[in-house]
Structure 1
Amino acid sequence: MMMKKLIILVLLNAALVSCKKDSTKLVPYDPSAPVFAIYPAPFKGYVGDVMPFYDNNTFHLFFLMDWRDNAPQYHPWYKFTTTDLLNYTNKGQMIGYGRADEQDYTLGTGSVIKQGNVYYGYYTGHNYLFLNTARPQEGILYATSADLNTWTKKTEFLITPPAGYDFNNFRDPNIFFNDATQEYWMVVGARKNNAGELVYYTTKDLASPNWAFQGTFYAPNKYDMLECPDIFKWGTYWYLVFSDTNLENATHYRMSTSPSGPWITPANDLLDSKYFYAAKTASDGKNRYLFGWVPTKSGFADNGTKDFAGNMSSHLLTQNTDGTLAVSALAAVIQAFTKANNITTSTKTSDVTTSGSDYNLTSASSLSYALFGSINGSYMISGTVNFTAAPQNFGILLGSNTYASQTYKLGFQNGNMESDRVASGNTTTESSVPFILTAGKDYNFKVVIENSIATLYVNDQVALSTRIYSLQNQSWGIFSSNGSVVFKNLKSFGLK
């Protein structure tokens, strides 16, 4: 009923606006129609934690719907479906709220799994009304479905925090099947002794769940909370993906040859920056994809702070020969950018020389840059970069004014990929991921842009997502500080 009311309001508002302009051109909004998007979001509301599931040639992307309406209940499960990771259909609400006296007065993250012909959706029940009472604020519940669209809650089922664990932090169940033990394992985020850890339960049968608590799954003793765990096997390795709430505030991964550990921390354990959170994976049998969300900023302004929820974003995951994970752009997204744009230099510093689509930036002590046309709509920038004399930093300029004094720098500095906001002479690093470059080596890059979101991909290995509200209708460019850099085969593309 709530969704129907919202749709009616949207249609009425659209009609009123259209009638003022030209009533003969009224086009009703159809919320069930597929929408093309690189970073999808609902027509109204925002995407929170994503819970991907692949079935019958379709990605079912469950997510926490964030209405931002200050209502007492929040985060019901909604769902997008897509077959190509470019055209998304909003299927509406899947699992709704409970009563004020029930555990799932509000909802949280979980996971979907299939046994036989039944789908099981395990989720977090969060009831802040239980705070400082004898009842836990968070617990684990589940619902079942025969078609992934209509869900029935099993109201008699509830798992609460084990003895000795925090009553208020017990969430985000992830379930997988362990072939070695022929059991289902459920991993849950918990807190003990003021530190976050993951605990696990086992059962033989989801249809008659008798979950047995097995203890600690992973306890690094450094995070306040480990959220949204995701466990999967790929070849000979097991992988654990999780997000932390207090240090990098980003998505990490660990690897092991057994789901029982020990879990190895790779040299770069981040799968993106803090502007890509709560990511979980799904495989279509050929490739594995990572789904997270890019937060909006308060006030929808560049100087705002990160909000909860925003737009969905997805990356392709691949394995390196040593088992570590690499992140790259989706092939479908790259292939969608088929309209080549002309790159025309609007302004440049005197130390920039050009030869066709190659640009040489040499600066001994200051900022060297070249600016091009404005970004309008969806956009992709690609090229190769190489440096000789090590610069202080270099990369791509986005949302820039004529003098690059108000701009975003998406690039490389001090062994990191960074998103830096430059305003009134001050530089603020908004997000970063480790990535060490070697002098004299070519690095391929792509920047994928839609509306206020930009993602930098380098060498099909690493990704850096960011939110830039000044991105559209402003110049983009390239820059280098205190060094020598060559950008080669620089190109830009739009959609068809």
Structure 2
Amino acid sequence: MSLCLISLTGCNNNMDYVSNDSGAAAPGAPTCFDVNDLYRTYSTFFKPAEGWVGDPMPFYENGKFHIFYLHDARDGSLTFHPWYKATTENFSTFTDNGEMIPTGTIEQQDRALGTGSVFKHNGVYYAFYTGHNGDLDPREKIMLATSANLNTWTKDPSFLLAASDGYDRNEFRDPMIIKDEASGTFRMLISTRADYKGSWRAVIAQYTSTDLRNWKLTEPFYDDPNTFMLECPDVFTMGDYQYFIYSNIDNRKVHYRFRKGTTGTWTIPTNSALDGIAFYAGKTASDGTDRYITAWCPTRENHSDYKGFDWAGSLITHKLIQYADGTISMTYPHGLNDKLSNSQNLNMTSSVNTQIESNSFTLKASAEQAVSVFDRQEGTYKIAAKVKATTSNSFGFEFGSCGNRREVYAVVFDLEQQQLRLERRVFGEEPLRIDNVKLNVPDNKEFDVTIMVENSICVVYVNHQTAFTNRIYKMSWNPWGIFSDNGEVTFSNLNLSK
């Protein structure tokens, strides 16, 4: 990889973006581009050509992951969220298989489809899903479609499961099936609310069956009085431990619990969140060797960093790592990492308080921040580095580093608060803290960092322990940088690849 100092002054006439440089930047500073993300292609963090990915439901068979998902067309239709499917072997390239299970009519229970799961038994694939119609009472019931090949599905109108007495009939969704191998019986877990233990609370209702058709209510699988709903439940076993994963509707994060065996008290880990607020509705699938969790990274309204999150977006996948004590962490899928292996020139556009030796950058901040800025990139790429914090306790990577850098989006390694944090930094203003995840700080203060980027999405992986997903529109087609707010930090083996 070569390193050179360049200056960018022009603005490409591609209609996908326009210049929004205020003119306050120094002559020769990189122009700020405002990319229209609506027309960008997402093939790595998959989305269909038309519409967006909601609530993925992965299923693995014969070397291929079948990612069923709720298709969010955003076309104003009175019926919405049919099940679509994409397939992949490596989470780096996807095939769009289109619609699998259509919605019903505006009068039917499945006017809108909701989350569910796919289960195979005796050569038949069962897709249990949520039928949602806000004009009916109850609003939600569990419904069924079956298939012989995972591609052609037939709805079974004879199957309808409504909430039992004592459960919330309008919040009754997200079914998943697990099999008790010892007894040969099946359990259906459903996200709902119930009058349980003396108060209405979020529960995972539990039904049992011997034939996948007739279901009998039993005691709740899990309950939580501190949140409204535990959405998209997922239960699986790895080694000696059983895991329960759910999405907290209140704090918009994916959490997990675990326990030894399949009975007994659940352990709540010190850090139960698996990512930040831009990673929702996580569910898992295993290829028999590794287990992966898929979720969606939301878009923002009008594709603007200043607007709120939409429902649905692009597909994000992490690989789970299990430790001997039962805790788990996240890292990148190796198929994605291997795909982005072609090293690129690391073109630096500016540098302040930085000592450079080959691809090693030592940033020494004093009263002034230390920063190095690199050329803009398009599409999909990977940034990797070994980071050693000598005396700095606040440093990281920034995006949207164009013009005079009056506004940037910083991924901050805050060692004092042990946080990996996304901030919007505007000159002369207090930083806006957008999101954060827990950062494990090793004694040697060394961090192996990999950042996967496609258009406005970046996923930061640290030490194969922490995953942090973000949507940053200003990142697309604009320069990026490394910085230190105080003290000294070295970014060694800094590498850009596609």
The TM-score with structure 2 as length reference comes to 0.87
- How many residues in Structure 1 have an aligned counterpart in Structure 2? 452
The whole-number CA distance in structure 2 between the counterparts of 1:178 and 1:354 is 59
1:334 partner SS: helix
The whole-number CA distance in structure 2 between the counterparts of 1:220 and 1:111 is 22
Give, in angstroms, the shift of residue 49 of structure 1: 0.3
Answer whether contact 1:398 1:471 (CA < 8 A) is retained.
yes
Give, in angstroms, the shift of residue 416 of structure 1: 1.2
Q: Which moved more, 1:70-79 or 1:100-109?
A: 100-109
Q: Deviation digits for residues 381-408 of structure 1, max 9, x if unmatched?
A: 00111213242x2111112124433111
The whole-number CA distance in structure 1 between the counterparts of 2:364 and 2:453 is 27
Gaps in structure 2 of 5+ consecutive residues:
1-14, 16-40
The whole-number CA distance in structure 2 between the counterparts of 1:177 and 1:431 is 37
1:143 to 142, 145, 159: 145
1:335 partner SS: helix
Q: Which moved more, 1:340-349 or 1:295-304?
A: 340-349
Q: Which moved more, 1:284-293 or 1:157-166?
A: 157-166
Q: What is the aligned partner in structure 1 of residue 73 from structure 2?
A: 67
Q: What is the aligned partner in structure 2 of residue 90 from structure 1?
A: 96
Residue identity opposite 2:340 in structure 1: F
Q: Deviation digits for residues 408-452 of structure 1, max 9, x if unmatched?
A: 111312211112122353422222111131353321010000111
Q: What is the aligned partner in structure 1 of residue 402 from structure 2?
A: 401
Answer whether contact 2:56 2:69 (CA < 8 A) is retained.
yes
1:374 partner SS: coil
Structure 1 segment 238-249 matched on structure 2, within 5 A: 238-247=242-251, 249=252
2:336 partner SS: helix
Residue identity opposite 2:472 in structure 1: I
Q: What is the aligned partner in structure 2 of residue 340 from structure 1?
A: 343
Tell which has more relative contact order, 1 or 2 (C-alpha 8 A, sep 6+): 2
1:108 to 106, 114, 117: 114
Q: What is the aligned partner in structure 2 of residue 274 from structure 1?
A: 277
Residue identity opposite 2:49 in structure 1: F
Indicate yes or no: 2:458 matched with 1:454: yes
Q: What is the aligned partner in structure 2 of residue 483 from structure 1?
A: 487
2:226 to 216, 219, 222: 222
Residue identity opposite 1:96 in structure 2: P
Answer whether contact 1:390 1:439 (CA < 8 A) is retained.
no
The whole-number CA distance in structure 1 between the counterparts of 2:169 and 2:482 is 51
Identity of aligned residues (%): 37
Q: Deviation digits for residues 18-73 of structure 1, max 9, x if unmatched?
A: xxxxxxxxxxxxxxxxx982101010000000000011221111000001112111
1:470 partner SS: helix
Gaps in structure 1 of 5+ consecutive residues:
1-16, 18-34
Give, in angstroms, the shift of residue 182 of structure 1: 2.7
Residue identity opposite 2:364 in structure 1: T
Indicate yes or no: 2:437 matched with 1:436: no
Change (3 A) 1:234 1:49: same
Answer whether contact 2:79 2:105 (CA < 8 A) is retained.
no
Q: What is the aligned partner in structure 1 of residue 297 from structure 2?
A: 294
Residue identity opposite 2:360 in structure 1: D
The TM-score with structure 1 as length reference comes to 0.88
The whole-number CA distance in structure 1 between the counterparts of 2:86 and 2:120 is 18
Q: What is the aligned partner in structure 2 of residue 315 from structure 1?
A: 318
Q: Which moved more, 1:64-73 or 1:435-444?
A: 435-444
Give, in angstroms, the shift of residue 190 of structure 1: 0.6
Residue identity opposite 1:347 in structure 2: S
Q: Deviation digits for residues 249-274 of structure 1, max 9, x if unmatched?
A: 11111111233442111111111111
Q: Deviation digits for residues 203-252 of structure 1, max 9, x if unmatched?
A: 1222xx221111211112111111000000110000111101112x1111
Q: What is the aligned partner in structure 2 of residue 211 from structure 1?
A: 215
Indicate yes or no: 2:260 matched with 1:257: yes
Structure 1 segment 387-426 matched on structure 2, within 5 A: 387-391=389-393, 393-413=394-414, 414-423=417-426, 425-426=429-430
